[in-house]
Amino acid sequence: MKSTQSLPFFSTGQFPCSYLPGRIARNCVIDPQFPMDTAVYSDLIKSGFRRSGSQVYRPQCLPCKECISTRIPVDAFHPSRSQRRNLKMNRDLQVTINPSGFKDVYLPLYERYLEERHNSDNVEAVEAFFESGWCQTHYIEFYENGQLLGVAVVDVLPTELSAVYTLFDTNKGSKRSLGTYAVLWQIEYAKKLGKSHVYPGYWIKDCHKMNYKSRFQPLQGFYDGRWIHIEKTSA
């Protein structure tokens, strides 16, 4: 891994935590003027960083350390019984890889997903949220009989895939557990591309929206500078 000690880091101001009520959050961010590229970002993601649009950040919410960066070693992964059922249930879906950027057809799906799953209607600058300008991003499109059911936004890095966001039809997609299928599909895609890991994002044990990641075993979490195993949680 390249040294990241010389990179220009800054701390943001405090803001309300989006995941744990009553908590205050703060991020460590890379100077947005720094000429980021996929090689540097690949090193940073191995140190617990993620991106939101072009901004590369890592939670710095001391004393809270609940946001744990995670990764799935693809060669060691074996789907559970329920995950095998998910794969079987969704084998009729058509999957298309779009490497060319955000499509307007995604927007209505994203609007409904935000409103129904996150009780939000903030769709401003959605393309800027998904894309960075310096990273190769694929939009994985899932279709049922020609109808777009969901999209997984995925960064393709030198040795890994990084899940950016997944959105789907909250009716048909939920019945198919399309969020789970999207992760399973990315694991298989990573194997085909010869990547070592899939990074599904931050895991928060006490947040229902974020603790599902422990269902994908083996899962590793970045704790105090090293990657260690995370056990499956019951939540």
| b/e burial code for range 175-187 (CB count within 10 A of at least 16 → b) | ebbbbbbbbbbbb
Sign of the alpha-carbon dihedral angle for 202, 207, 211, 212: negative
Q: What is the pLDDT of residue 181?
A: 98
Residues of the chain falling short of pLDDT 50: 1-3, 119-123
* SS3 state at 149: strand
Token readout for 24 is 């205050």
CATH 3.40.630.30 fits domain 72-200: yes
Q: Which helix (H) or strand (E) holds 33?
A: none
Q: What is the pLDDT of residue 4?
A: 57
Q: What is the pLDDT of residue 3?
A: 47
Q: What is the pLDDT of residue 43?
A: 96
Query: In 3D, which of 157, 22, 152, 144 has the Cα closest to residue 89?
Result: 144
Helix axes 81-89, 178-193, angle to 10 degrees: 90
Q: What is the pLDDT of residue 90?
A: 97
Q: What is the pLDDT of residue 15?
A: 94
Query: In 3D, which of 219, 199, 203 has the Cα closest to residue 211?
Result: 203
